């Protein structure tokens, strides 16, 4: 296990370097730049000249990229927003990431709870109305994109005033419910499908039938043996899903007006703010790598027979 951790940590800078290079190239090739965007949003001419000179933007992409890399890897300096002069990219991430992370953790918890419950109920009563209902919910969750789910939840919340749920903004627990459900429904659908299919095979396997014949109760067979094995495919899914949800769905944050890192990314793309785009992508990539490492370690915890190498 220690060898795996050290190997991943050694690969970490190389992977980030590749992602950083590709992201920079795509951001640089994007039509226009923050200084040729909407005139109402352009910084003053003196500010433009100062920023171009500071980051060597007028000396070509190679010189600009070299200076940016030096700042990132020596001082953890992600630069300054070109669309909002005076705001540093690190401050934008520091302000938005906790909001997106809180929303993401809540959405993952909802997805795990809903998906595991629906999957277990469907596997215990195959071909029943309960199973059909869980499959229908799974199909809806997989088919509907998060922005459609968010819009539907907004309409439902607005039409039922007794719920007293805010329709946007970031106002604590109550403001988290609707966007967390919108983010968590798709993971819940995939988890329910994986759990249901896995349990259906495991509960009909020889070792479970043998354990039941020896007097093991259905509850113990389910929770002590079958569910742990059926949860392994869920772990593979949770890694990238958690990283995606933890950074917050860009569209969902925009719909619910949540001041997270996702909304900052949308604003940066609209204004061709290259440094903010690169900084947010780096945060997303870092979380994706770390979550995948945690998933690999969780495999050994769920099933000690699995050897990590």
pLDDT digits (tens, 9 = 90+) for 187-222: 888 888 888 888 878 777 777 777 777 777 777 777
* 3-state SS class at 231: coil
Which of 90-94, 135-139, 154-158, 229-233 reaches the highest mean pLDDT? 90-94
Closest CA to 287 of 72, 105, 24: 105
Average pLDDT for 43-61: 70
Q: Is 264 within 8 Å of 212 (Cβ atoms)?
A: no
Taking 80 as the threshold, does the pLDDT of residue 114 lie above it? yes
Least confident of 81-85, 92-96, 287-291: 81-85
Domain that holds residue 80: 1-309
Q: In total, how many domains does the chain have?
A: 1
Confidence of residue 152 (pLDDT cuts 50, 70, 90): confident
Closest CA to 258 of 49, 102, 53, 75: 102
Residue 204: the pLDDT is: 75
Kindly report the backbone phi and psi dihedral angles of residue 81, in degrees, each rounded to the nearest multiple of 5, phi listed first: -60, 130
- Going from the C-alpha of 2 to that of each of 5, 6, 163, the distances in angstroms are 5, 6, 49
Cα separation, 3 vs 7, in Å, equals 6
Residue 173: the pLDDT is: 77
Q: What is the CATH number of the domain that holds 46?
A: 1.10.3720.10
Cα separation, 245 vs 179, in Å, equals 11
Cα separation, 74 vs 69, in Å, equals 8
Kindly report the backbone phi and psi dihedral angles of residue 193, in degrees, each rounded to the nearest multiple of 5, phi listed first: -65, -45
Average pLDDT for 137-166: 77
Residue 144: the pLDDT is: 82
In this predicted model, which residue has the larger pLDDT, 133 or 276?
A: 276
Q: How many other C-beta atoms are found inside a 10 Å radius of the C-beta of residue 130? A: 14
Q: Is 251 within 8 Å of 113 (Cβ atoms)?
A: no
Residue 39: the pLDDT is: 57
Report helix angle 89-124 to 173-203, nearest 10.
40
Q: In degrees, to the nearest 5, what angle opens at C-alpha 252 toward C-alphas 176 and 247?
A: 80
Q: DSSP for 166-191, please give it.
A: -SSS--SHHHHHHHHHHHHHHHHHHH
Confidence of residue 55 (pLDDT cuts 50, 70, 90): low
Share of the chain above pLDDT 90, in %: 0
Q: Is 87 within 8 Å of 276 (Cβ atoms)?
A: no
Confidence of residue 162 (pLDDT cuts 50, 70, 90): low
In this predicted model, which residue has the larger pLDDT, 204 or 116?
A: 116
């Amino acid at each position: 296990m220690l060898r795996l951790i050290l190997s991943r940590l050694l690969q970490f800078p190389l992977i980030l370097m590749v992602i950083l290079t590709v992201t920079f190239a795509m951001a640089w090739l994007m039509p226009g730049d923050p200084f040729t965007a909407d005139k109402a949003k352009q910084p003053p001419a003196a500010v433009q000249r100062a920023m171009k000179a500071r980051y060597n933007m007028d000396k070509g992409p190679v010189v600009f990229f070299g200076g940016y890399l030096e700042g990132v890897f020596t001082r953890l300096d992600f630069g300054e927003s070109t669309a909002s002069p005076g705001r540093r990219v690190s401050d934008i991430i520091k302000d938005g990431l906790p909001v997106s992370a809180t929303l993401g953790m809540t959405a993952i918890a909802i997805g795990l709870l809903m998906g595991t419950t629906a999957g277990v109920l469907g596997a215990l009563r195959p071909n029943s109305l309960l199973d059909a209902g869980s499959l229908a919910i799974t199909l809806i969750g997989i088919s509907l994109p998060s922005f459609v789910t968010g819009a539907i939840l907004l309409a439902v919340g607005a039409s039922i005033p007794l719920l007293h749920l805010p329709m946007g903004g970031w106002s604590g627990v109550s403001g988290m419910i609707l966007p967390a459900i919108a983010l968590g429904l798709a993971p819940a659908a995939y988890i329910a499908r994986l759990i249901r299919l896995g349990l259906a095979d495991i509960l009909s396997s020889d070792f479970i039938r043998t354990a039941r014949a020896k007097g093991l109760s259905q509850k113990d067979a389910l929770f002590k043996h079958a569910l742990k094995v059926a949860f392994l495919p869920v772990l593979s899914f949770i890694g990238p899903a958690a990283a995606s949800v933890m950074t917050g769905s860009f569209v969902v944050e925009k719909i619910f007006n949540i001041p997270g890192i996702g909304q900052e990314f949308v604003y940066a793309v609209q204004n061709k703010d290259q440094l903010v785009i690169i900084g947010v992508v780096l945060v997303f990539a870092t979380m994706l790598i770390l979550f995948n490492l945690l998933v690999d370690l969780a495999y050994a915890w769920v099933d000690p027979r699995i050897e990590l190498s």
